[in-house]
Structure 1
Amino acid sequence: MNSYPFGSQVPKSFPAYPRSEFDLESGTAIKRTRKPKNSTFHPFRMIRSFGNRLHHFLKIHPLMGLLLVLSLVVTLFMVFSLFGTPYGVQSGYVKAEMGFDDYPFAKLHNLVMVAGHSVYTSSSCGKIEKEDSWFLESYQKNPGQAATFVAHIHEGIEIVAQDDSALLLFSGGETRRDAGPRSEAQSYWAVADTKGWFGKEESVKWRALTEEHARDSFENLLFSVCRFRELTGTYPQNITVVGYDFKEKRFAHLHRSAIGFPESRFFYAGTPATSNAKAAALKGEELVRTQFQRDPYGCKGSLYNKKLKRDPFHRSIPYPNGCPEIEGLFKYCGPTPYPGELPWS
């Protein structure tokens, strides 16, 4: 029998496991599991530690710290420049890029514009053709004046009813302080609706809308062209203006020329003024035409001041946001036609 001195080497059948326990039954070693260190996450300690290290770094390398700060500022500026607006747009155009199919009236190609002349103020829609149902200027207070407004509305509806590709726009802003914040355009649309669209509701109502910012006849035309672009995604192939017959020269020659629209694609549908006001209307129209001949864009002098008075509620004009291709035309002010390129020229 071999004897082994006490405390000498361990028998070969029982290998030494200095950091384990031995299972006598299985003959295997049992490893002891170390207790993990405290793994609790301490964000404030981490932030404090990072801050201390950063402070120490900046004391040693102040120039490097300045460069890091400048880089951070530049990065933030670039991020906000790209994503600071709802659509990341540029050049003042606030609408998102839209595809042709995204426009609600993309299949319509011709514009029919009815120029507004007054605001309907009556609470009773049954008095549409009564002068006291409209807010009238002193020169408009003539018997039968209200009926001429209704005639314009009717004429516009009839023209659109005969053209399946036409969009009808009633144009005119909130031009009368005492009439309240009601636009001429909304007044005309409401009258058309009350009249049942003169029997053409099914074919016309769905494509009859408003342009509610124009303050004079030139803006009736220009703003309606921009509004057409907002709704269809394109500019009109043909334009028809509905108004008083004595204003045809103003629209068909002066205003059309000012926006450079082709004469062959521009039409005017005129209805007569009241017989007792015709002489005064013709005299006044001659004066206005002379003013527009000198100032085709109504951007200075008496025409400009008149527009300011026709904006009693200081409405912000959204154009040319909806028609960026003619932004230059909106900004132009001169005695000669706009020299830049236009989508329809």
Structure 2
Amino acid sequence: MQSMLEGQHMEVPRMNDFQRGETPTFVSHVKAGLDALAADNCGILIFSGGATKKSRTSLSEGQSYLVGKIRLPRSNNLAKENNFYQDQTADSTIDPTKIIVEEYATDSYQNLLFSLLRFRSHVGAYPRRVTVVTHAFKRERFLECHFPAVGLVPQTGTSPVESNDNATVIGINPPPDISPLESLRREGLVYGKKDLYGVAEDLSSKRAKRGWVPETRADLIASSGCDEVVAQLVCWDGGTGNQWFPRIEELPWYYGRSKNSH
């Protein structure tokens, strides 16, 4: 099982407007990921996110979960210095070697896809199940856009999908007075459905502003040792429009494959 935390920098003065005041929420995300890892002997926890604020810090979003300087006591090494948020009176049940970082992603689709590749580079195989820990207002975006786009769940059409054995979302929102949750939910879902792979002008320009360089894909593919069909997905440009990846059923984690064939 792979648990993936969608990265956000947790250094409070450097947050985007909608992230201000969310430090306790990000800590809750970390705890939820650690709980999922502790409950699965075969699990890997991936903190995902690239260095999207290079003008302010070279620290990646993924690394910020482990070594970020959030303004909390004993937080220079957030998860480790807090005993992985396990019972402080007992030894931690968390194996630190099962917590890794993905440092390329610049948006939620890339968080998902690049974490699948990071799992592959660390384990030598692809995960059979994926759990994403993120804001609850992004749940529909993952279930109806990102999961279907990479073949973890069926393509949705007009009917929303629910979590299944292959992919699920743990959603934890900040208090409603901190973020405009409903408008963020609607906006993200609209953009996700219009541009499944984030390659059209609006979303690709956001990636560029966050430091994404398309040439990075070659390094990502090489470092992961991924299959040829997965490499094609990483480079998929939407075809002649907002088209599904044509070889989606060949992907090694495709939901229609028998678990025994993984």
Matched, 1:139 2:12: no
Residue 129 of structure 2: aligned partner:
238
1:308 to 208, 221, 240: 208
Unaligned runs of 5+ in 1: 1-109, 121-130
2:227 to 313, 324, 335: 324
Q: Deviations over 1:231-277 (max 9, x none)?
A: 11111100000011111111122100000113431111111222203
Output the CA distance in 2 between the equivalents of 1:324 and 1:172: 22
- Alpha-carbon deviation of 1:314? 9.4
Matched, 1:257 2:148: yes
For these two proteins, the number of residue pairs brought into alignment is: 221
1:149 to 9, 26, 36: 26
Output the CA distance in 1 between the equivalents of 2:128 and 2:212: 34
Give yes or no for contact 2:38–2:93 (8 Å, CA) kept in 1: no
RCO greater where, 1 or 2, for CA within 8 Å and sep 6 or more?
Answer: 2
Matched, 1:294 2:194: yes
1:269 match: secondary structure: strand
Residue 26 of structure 1: aligned partner:
none
Aligned-residue sequence identity (percent) comes to 29
Structure number, greater radius of gyration: 1
1:336 match: secondary structure: coil
Q: Deviations over 1:162-204 (max 9, x none)?
A: 1000000000010113432100111102221222211274423
Q: TM-score, normalised by structure 2?
A: 0.79
Matched, 1:339 2:216: no
Matched, 1:192 2:79: yes
- Alpha-carbon deviation of 1:227? 0.5
Output the CA distance in 2 between the equivalents of 1:205 and 1:315: 32
1:171 to 34, 39, 48: 48
Q: Which stretch shows the higher mean deviation, 160-169 or 322-331?
A: 322-331
Matched, 1:273 2:174: yes
List structure 1 segments (4+ residues) > 6 angstroms apart after TM superposition: 312-315
Change (3 A) 1:343 1:152: same
Q: TM-score, normalised by structure 1?
A: 0.60
Matched, 1:283 2:183: yes
Give yes or no for contact 2:48–2:115 (8 Å, CA) kept in 1: yes
- Alpha-carbon deviation of 1:118? 1.6
Output the CA distance in 2 between the equivalents of 1:320 and 1:300: 22
Give yes or no for contact 2:84–2:94 (8 Å, CA) kept in 1: no
AA aligned to 1:156 is G
RMSD of the TM alignment (CA)? 2.0
